Amino acid sequence: CIPGGGILERLDAGEVVIGDGGFVFALEKRGYVKAGPWTPEAAAEHPEAVRQLHREFLRAGDDKLENRGNKVTFTGAQINEAACDLAREVANEGDAMVAGGVCQTPSYLSCKSETEVKGILKKQLDVFIKKNVDFLIAEYFEHVEEAVWAVEVLKETGKPVAASMCIGPDGDMHGVSPGECAVRLVKAGAQIVGVNCHFDPMTCVKTVKMMKEGVEKAGLKAHYMVQPLAYHTPDCNCQGFIDLPEFPFGLEPRILSRWDMHKYAREAFNAGIRFIGGCCGFEPYHIRAVAEELGPERGFLPAASEKHGNWGAGLEMHTKPWVRARARRDYWENLKPASGRPQCPSMSAPDGWGVTKGHTDLMQQKEATSQDQLKQLFDRSKSH
């Protein structure tokens, strides 16, 4: 980010803020996070790994811990404190900001009360205030009701608040439209609203456009953010990539190229979105592509671009003439990459079990899922 104060001051000034990428997915691939619970103990267990990933993204531009059999070695507060320290350490190497984030709770999905859910969210705030994060994000919410509760809790701190939902154009899991979701979040006190995760970049940009239209129609004002997947998801239903049969270990054929990210960054900027980043699947080279596309608007290129020629320019030095011939924008911009998988379809059929808040399958338990419970799920999966 260009020097110039906090998140709201920068956005008010029209600056483009580049968000980082998908930490838990990237750390899972590196062997530091367990898929399923997706809880970030790595911040306390392997700080050097998290520190390095923070650095790579920088150069490129609590009940959840206890459910579903996840062994708890550190408390949520200890993990958040370690995460804040690591993020601040690396942020200070450049001109980045540190956000403290809360996300949807298993308690909400299990139909606990507003008081109980807010109590869980409040537990995390002491560390964020102690560590003096620059702003707070309520992110990855499937239901606007819970997202509003989160915003209300975060607003009590006096910090700037962003709210990001994991929804697509069909709205939240109860069918509340993106525009209405955004209006409710802004009225609750969120100064930045948008979406993250669950869908590909273009789908997410489309959704934020709908949010922006809703907010403006209601006569309200907000800044807008988008942090999508780095996967193509044209075949997803309302719950996004979680319903794809490839989730989470077979998604690599869907990964966006760096050139896809150029298109995404431009589309987001043209839509009036100024907080532009990434979520699951994003690697540092994806964020670099976003930063390079928006280099003219930001006034500079990231440090990682020193090793990356613009639009393949580095290939001018290649020994093979047909590869040197690819050192141009129109080649990469118009390329339609092949998957190299002759037995694979172009799209999948989502599982689409229709499970959401209050469903028996979402009732959380602290003990590991039993073999009998798993067998029931295996049998149901075969019937879909």
* Separation between Cα atoms, residue 90 and residue 363, nearest integer Å: 38
Burial class (CB in 10 A: 0-12, 13-18, 19+), 217: exposed
CA 302 to chain centre: 21
Buried b (16+ CB within 10 A) or exposed e, 150-178: bbbbbbebebbbbbbbbbbeebbbeebbb
* Separation between Cα atoms, residue 199 and residue 330, nearest integer Å: 27
Tokens 């029931």 locate to: 376
User: Is 111 a known ligand-binding residue?
Assistant: no
Counting every residue, how long is the chain? 384
Strands 192-196 and 99-102: unpaired
Short-list 168, 172, 170, CA closest to 185 = 172
Short-list 175, 218, 168, CA closest to 198 = 168
User: Is 279 a known ligand-binding residue?
Assistant: yes
Strands 223-227 and 275-276: parallel
Q: Crossing angle for the helix pair 284-293 and 258-270, nearest 10 degrees?
A: 50
* Separation between Cα atoms, residue 229 and residue 54, nearest integer Å: 18
**How far is residue 232 from each of residues 196, 255, 347, measured CA to CA in Å?**
14, 6, 10
User: Is 280 a known ligand-binding residue?
Assistant: yes
* Separation between Cα atoms, residue 265 and residue 293, nearest integer Å: 7
In the annotated binding site, the residues are: 197, 279-280
- Residues forming the annotated binding site for Zn(2+)? 197, 279-280
